[in-house]
Amino acid sequence: MKSALLDAVLDARASRRPVLRLSWIEGGREELVSASGLEAATTGLAVDLAEAAAQAIRSDSGALVTSADGPVFIHPFNPSIRLAIVGAVHIAQRLAILARDLGYEITLIDPRRGFLTEARFPGVVLNHDWPDVALEAFALDARSAVVTLSHDPKLDEPALGVALRSPCFYVGALGSRRTQERRRDRLREAGLTDAELAQIHGPVGLDLGAKNPAEIALSIAAEMTATLRSR
């Protein structure tokens, strides 16, 4: 990769903008295209190749396609995937480990300093702000996920209010079906629409019959992965 192109990729990653490097196999031509500008890009790509480029962004995987100028390798450069966990509970300890192994950048949010400590959550970002304040500053985007685990409406519901109005790809909330119904009623009264509320994965996680914190964390990580890869 040429130096100028590498600088542009690094700049895009720093500003969390997905981009693609298009490399023509014959002749060595390279071009960087923003994911948002695929249709307007002056690359000579046919419509089906533009669709292949969009799929490469969604799947985080490269593809070799054919253009009028010969074969082109599409290499996507996506922003990192991020997970904000609200509630420094036992499930959060397990989920932070699993999600980190899956490539997520983890932020734990809980204003209760006695619960949210480096000793309990080593190697992740700790945020002691109130969850709605923390998530507003987090700048949720399409490569972000939010999971609320505190089981405390004062913490979980303000966080859900921010997450559901954002473009994040996954919003999960711990709680039984009855808890979910009551929570949705309160959020609806707070001004959220039924379409926004429908985005909540709750009860959170795939139905694996999970019983303990490690199993529940596994079910959440599996559901996040399924949601991310099915877009």
The letter for the amino acid at 171 is V
Q: Say if pTM beats, i.e. exceeds, 0.85.
A: yes
Written as tens digits, the pLDDT of the chain (231 aa) is: 777 888 888 888 888 888 888 888 888 888 888 776 655 454 555 556 677 777 888 888 888 887 777 788 888 899 999 999 999 999 999 999 999 999 999 999 999 999 999 999 999 999 999 999 999 999 999 999 999 999 999 999 999 999 999 999 999 999 999 999 999 999 999 999 999 999 999 999 999 999 999 999 999 999 999 999 887
Chain center to CA of 189 = 27
Domain architecture of the chain: domains with CATH: 3-77 (no CATH), 82-229 (3.40.50.720)
